[in-house]
Amino acid sequence: MTRDRHSFYNGGTVKRPPPFLVSIAGLDPSGGAGILLDLHVFEGLCFRGAAVLAAVTAQTAAGVRAALALPPVMVRKQFDALAADLKIAGIKVGMLGSAANVRLVAGLLGRSRGVPRVVDPVFRATSGAWLLEKKAACSFLSAMSGRATLITPNLAEASLLTGRALTSVGRMKDAARGIFERHGLPCLIKGGRLRGGIVDVLFDGREHALFLHARSGRDVHGTGCFLSSAILGFLARGRTLHEACHLGIELTLEARRRAVRAGRGRAVFAFPL
């Protein structure tokens, strides 16, 4: 993993300018999740990070107080400005806030098929607050069909997307395969809330892969954002989907063990990686 993380450097000297990874997501002003966390992860993997703000929240690791989606025209103008000037090596999508932004960003991903694109569907906060218009969740998969390298829902999000409670690894496997077969989206379903040990289930379009790890007992804010950003970084390094998921999960677990308490809420990731 160290070689992957530092392949643009040699003894601390930059060999060539690092490529850009772009996060299209929401702002958590505490930096514990969302765009600010994504940029930290990109930098930790020796990429430059660029940001397209799709929504703004008032939150910390203690919870969400308010959320507001930006107008789609502003989201598009941000992305177009970056695309016209920078060489983009990958795109991560997080909180979008509105159905209009979901449709817009799906179109942007369709224009960017030459780079890895990881979609982390952010519907609700852990506290229960909705971070996306409820009507947008029903059409999310249809909008994103065939436009991403990977989608990374957690159990609650995958249940909402498929309309079926996912209470076992078998159901997770069926759901991941179904998302690919109906929408052309390789799928990693995160099983952090499954009873017993944690199992993450990947269907890459051909076969399933299971990633098993012990439950840490730590409640860390922004884990889904961290994982999807790390997977994108490894994909942009040229790793296969299976390898990128494995490395991203391992890096996330390592970072969770070093998380710190920053306020009255949950723990947050510590940097540098």
Q: Provide the pLDDT for residue 216.
A: 72
pLDDT of amino acid 15 = 59
Is residue 43 packed enough to be buried (19+ CB in 10 Å), middle (13-18) or exposed (0-12)?
A: middle
For residue 263, the model assigns a pLDDT of: 79
Q: pTM to 2 decimals?
A: 0.93
Ranges of residues in the chain with a pLDDT under 50 are: 1-3, 5-12
What is the distance between the alpha carbons of residues 90 and 22, in angstroms, rounded to a whole number? 6
Q: Distance between CA atoms of 222 and 215, rounded to whole angstroms? A: 17
Q: Are 60 and 265 in contact (CB under 8 A)?
A: yes
- pLDDT for the residue numbered 29: 95
Beta pairing partners, 53:
25
The pLDDT of residue 213 = 85
Picking from 250, 202, 223, 31, the residue whose alpha carbon sits closest to that of residue 126 is: 223
User: Which residues, 6 or more positions from 210, have their beta carbon under 8 angstroms from its beta carbon?
Assistant: 169, 199, 200, 201, 202
Q: Set out the domains of the chain in order of their start, with CATH numbers.
A: 2-268 (3.40.1190.20)
Task: Give yes or no for a contact between 49 and 109, defined as CB atoms under 8 angstroms apart.
Answer: no
Give the pLDDT of residue 11: 41
The predicted structure's pLDDT at residue 9: 39
